[in-house]
Structure 1
Amino acid sequence: MPEVECEERMLIGGRLVPASGGGTFPDVNPATEERIGVAADATAADMDAAIGAARAAFDGTDWAADPAFRARCLRQLQQALAKHAEELRATIVAEAGAPVALTHGAQLDIPVEGLGWVADLAERYAWTTDLGVAEPYGIRSHRYLRREPVGVVGAITPWNFPMQINLAKVGPALAAGNTVVLKPAPDTPYTATLLGRLAAEETDLPPGVLNVVTSSRHEIGQLLAEDERVDMVSFTGSTATGRTVMRAGAGTIKKVFLELGGKSALLALDDADLKKAVGNAAFQITTHAGQGCAILTRLVLPRSRYEEGLEMLVETLRGWPYGDPTDPGNLMGPLISERQRERVRGHIATGLREGARLALGGGVPAHLPTGHYVEPTVLADVHPDATVAQEEIFGPVIAVLAHDGDDDAVRIANNSRYGLSGMVVSASDERARAVAHRVRTGTISVNGGLFYGADAPFGGYRQSGVGRESGVAGFEEYLEIKTIAETG
């Protein structure tokens, strides 16, 4: 692979700058535990400057009024990202621990391609809608709707799929005519700062339209959510942090988009091809070491075939390749940090304490002494109300439950404070579809179908979030609606 590309500087007001206080923080490779480099550790003054630059660019330029120019800038950004794809690939693998194979999909290539879809949407979108003429109170009025950008958007992103989520927020927000302050997770700063550098050096984006602020301190993100100059906050992360962001935005009644946690279920009905169900479960729970909000972390098997399915899952995972994320043969790499590894191991211990049976894994792999790895882990005989069936673990741990028919499977799937994703497997598409319609989630797969794409809205019910990302619905999250009436 190419050398890892580092960018220590932030993008504020069109300039690549260090932190005003000169501070930095380390960027560490979770697979090697070695320092990749350092990133600027922003101060409150830096965040204030970035918000001020975004506000000035929105209020004082024609950016919001020119969708054709915005589309051109987004295509320039797409071309720059594609041109530097190999350097970006190496950086994502190094700082996120993401297997390189995944960078050819959701970690890099697909979201970069998706920028083109967003640019096309900006050009073809119906910015006005004619409501026709009416005569309220006898006043003849021609009414129409005008869709306008929200204003300044604060985008706060996590470390697990950094480029995908950065672009899922920045692309639609800019296409809609907003200006953006991006605050990435401290674990993956370079994926954001490199995006900022390419925007500054290889596009015509006006100064202040996109700003990137890195910091080791979460209170810097809090400032972004609280500031009255920011019109909207778009956040992806844990449900607990989402509540904090929502409270921070409440002070100024700003618009808040939240894409939060999940505890999604894979339902195998009693006529299911268990090999297909188990193959999907194994792939899901090991992909990026289970560090994804929409990953299917509960496998719900028919009670009459429970031991058969469990044994098949264990045998599938027993020889699963994992380890060095630079190896194209591995889809599972390390967890992001030692803190996260201890959190995952704590969940496994809780599961065993509450009565689950350890069918596979549960520990630190002996053949990987360096890096924050956990073995692929199968917890069997899990009660639907158990902690490991209710809490998001964010690691390669799957809880296996039993159901007694379609109604019971639906009940188990919906027995969650989350509602992000899911899958139903059956010999009958019609039967699987009927069950899928009853599962309360924002996305769901029928017999292995994939919902992921720039044109497909993504988000969840209940405590999995508020609003949708991607698709036309995700684009419209960044718009306001103005109703205009003219006499005559």
Structure 2
Amino acid sequence: MSDVLGARTAPVLEVAARAAARAERRMLIDGELRAAADGAEFDNIAPATGQVLGGTAAATAADMDRAIGAARRAFDDTDWPRNRALRARCLEQLQTALEGEKTELGEELIAEAGCPAMTLTNAQVDWPLAEALRYPLRLIDEFAWERVLPGGGLFGERNVRTVVQEPVGVVAAICPSNFPVEVVLNKIGPALAAGNTVVLKPDPNTPWNATRLGRLIAERTDFPPGVLNVVTTPSNEVAGLLATDPRVDLISFTGSTAVGKHLVRTAADTMKRTFLELGGKSALIVLDDADPMAAIRSAIGVCVHAGQACAATSRMLVPRHLVDEITAQVAAAYGAVPPADPALPDTLVGPLISAAQQRRVLDAVERGVRDGARLVTGGGIPDDIAPHLRDGFFVRPAVFACADNTLPIARDEIFGPVLVIIPHDGDDDAVRLANDSDYGLAGAVLSSSPERGMAVARRVRTGAIGVNGGMFYGADAPFGGVKQSGLGRQCGLEGFQQYLETKTIGTRSPRPR
């Protein structure tokens, strides 16, 4: 397959060229870097330009079968589940290896995910490298792996009961394209630290960050063969084997609610455990005593990385008497952050991940207008973008004024730079509107009174929420949703325990002579 990059005349093209030259295109299966069984590859498309970066191994069903089998053997036939010292050493080696290629990893994300360079210093690279592996590493030593129940229960003092925490088994980690490194590391870190083996299936739109991880494991660590496998494929049929194969014990999935529901149904036949971190339509609640400028700054958050964040607060609930003023100010702010080259340091709005996602966002905007919501600004394909970006998947950040919370534009996750502003009539009404959603992933509250903001936050049905800019994110902080935003939690102690099974052992001591 030949690579098509065009002239190196713009920052993202230069970054893409370097990323393509350094990319790992093979999978990691059973400790070996390998091409697909039939030699096939699929194209990795740069979302900023629409051009082919290069190819990646396209796994066959036989490749997936081999990866699952390798993970099963590594769990059943090696001491990985019980050897905590080995697990700690391997994760420390991986941490060091990733830090050594931090610059290359960041450029790879700009090229294949289209993320703005400014996001590398937070959730794309710096935050997960700082703690996604280090936190579960600490838990290897600090976690209470066993506890002894006091007394002997119904059978007297000679009966001792020990509660043991053990790894689940083979974990299928299925990851999205929006924050691929962050999600991958926050899945495999606790899964591996807990003693599980893993088959990692990255999003086909962003495969190279995962194949890089596979290369580092193969070349720079002591991970036993099969403990972590990286399988890249654009085929839903091949990926679906992770949900149906009885050798897989747990599915850890981050992505859309529709796919999450499908995985639950499919996994039910083999009684797999499922962790699902799904979609959101989170509310930014502005109370009547909030700083209007803080509200506008918070509203801009939906523009970051073109709104491709499940926790984005894409519904802004504003006091009715302030809604016209704030809507005008937010629209002006959105107009001041046009889509641009993601490799430039001051770009906030990069491309959407694919042409299909661009079309979905444009269709949602068009439907919002048809349904009667007022499009205040944005929503179309930019016609004044730099020439080298004209085939990229960009959409102008859009602001809707919408008095009806029942419209699809106010209820459906769009996963793009689209904000809906809805009026509320006081704290109780704001809470009612925030909770009037099928989703419950994240949210935010703004108030000059921390106590008032906290009181409102406690009433919102959501898995995480920030008050006055408070950050809930961290490898030690559980994250996940309620309602159709998912099942279970990623990160934190709760996320670590998700990869563990509980066993109770009763032992009877000899009768004293």
The equivalent residue for 1:109 is 126
Poorly superposed stretches of 4+, deviation over 6 Å: none
The equivalent residue for 1:279 is 297
1:402 match: secondary structure: strand
Deviation of 1:77 (Å): 0.5
Question: Which structure 2 residues correspond to residues 47-446 of structure 1 after superposition, within 5 A?
Answer: 47-114=64-131, 115-137=133-155, 140-282=158-300, 284-368=301-385, 369-446=390-467
**Letter of the aligned partner of 1:391 in structure 2?**
D
Q: Is the 8 A contact 1:355 1:382 kept in 2?
A: no
Query: Quick one: distance in 2 between partners of 1:380 and 1:449?
Result: 26
For residues 145-195 of structure 1, the C-alpha deviation after alignment (integer angstroms, 9 at most, x for no partner) is: 100000000111111111111111111100000000001111011011001
Deviating more after overlay: 378-387 vs 258-267? 378-387
Deviation of 1:272 (Å): 1.0
Cα RMSD over matched residues? 1.1
TM-score (norm 1): 0.98
In structure 1, stretches of 5+ residues that fail to align are none
**Letter of the aligned partner of 2:397 in structure 1?**
P
For residues 132-153 of structure 1, the C-alpha deviation after alignment (integer angstroms, 9 at most, x for no partner) is: 2223155742112100000000
2:400 match: secondary structure: strand
2:63 is equivalent to residue 42 of structure 1: no
**Letter of the aligned partner of 1:454 in structure 2?**
A
**Letter of the aligned partner of 2:149 in structure 1?**
L
**Letter of the aligned partner of 2:267 in structure 1?**
G
For residues 299-356 of structure 1, the C-alpha deviation after alignment (integer angstroms, 9 at most, x for no partner) is: 0000011111111111222212531110010122000111111100110111111111
Of residues 488, 492, 498, the one that matches 1:467 is: 488
Deviation of 1:370 (Å): 2.9
Taking every aligned residue pair, what percent have the same amino acid on both sides?
52
Deviation of 1:382 (Å): 4.0
Query: Quick one: distance in 1 between partners of 2:197 and 2:125?
Result: 23
1:110 match: secondary structure: helix
Query: Quick one: distance in 2 between partners of 1:439 and 1:359?
Result: 28
Query: Quick one: distance in 1 between partners of 2:145 and 2:403?
Result: 51
Query: Quick one: distance in 1 between partners of 2:315 and 2:397?
Result: 14
Query: Quick one: distance in 2 between partners of 1:138 and 1:73?
Result: 43
Query: Quick one: distance in 1 between partners of 2:403 and 2:172?
Result: 40
1:194 match: secondary structure: helix
For residues 355-409 of structure 1, the C-alpha deviation after alignment (integer angstroms, 9 at most, x for no partner) is: 1111111111112223110001000124111101110000000000000010100
Of residues 473, 477, 484, the one that matches 1:452 is: 473
**Letter of the aligned partner of 2:479 in structure 1?**
F
Q: Is the 8 A contact 1:72 1:119 kept in 2?
A: no
Q: Is the 8 A contact 1:258 1:466 kept in 2?
A: yes
**Letter of the aligned partner of 1:43 in structure 2?**
T
**Letter of the aligned partner of 2:489 in structure 1?**
R
Query: Quick one: distance in 2 between partners of 1:357 and 1:121?
Result: 50
**Letter of the aligned partner of 1:447 in structure 2?**
N
**Letter of the aligned partner of 2:393 in structure 1?**
H
TM-score (norm 2): 0.93
In structure 2, stretches of 5+ residues that fail to align are 1-13
Query: Quick one: distance in 2 between partners of 1:335 and 1:125?
Result: 40
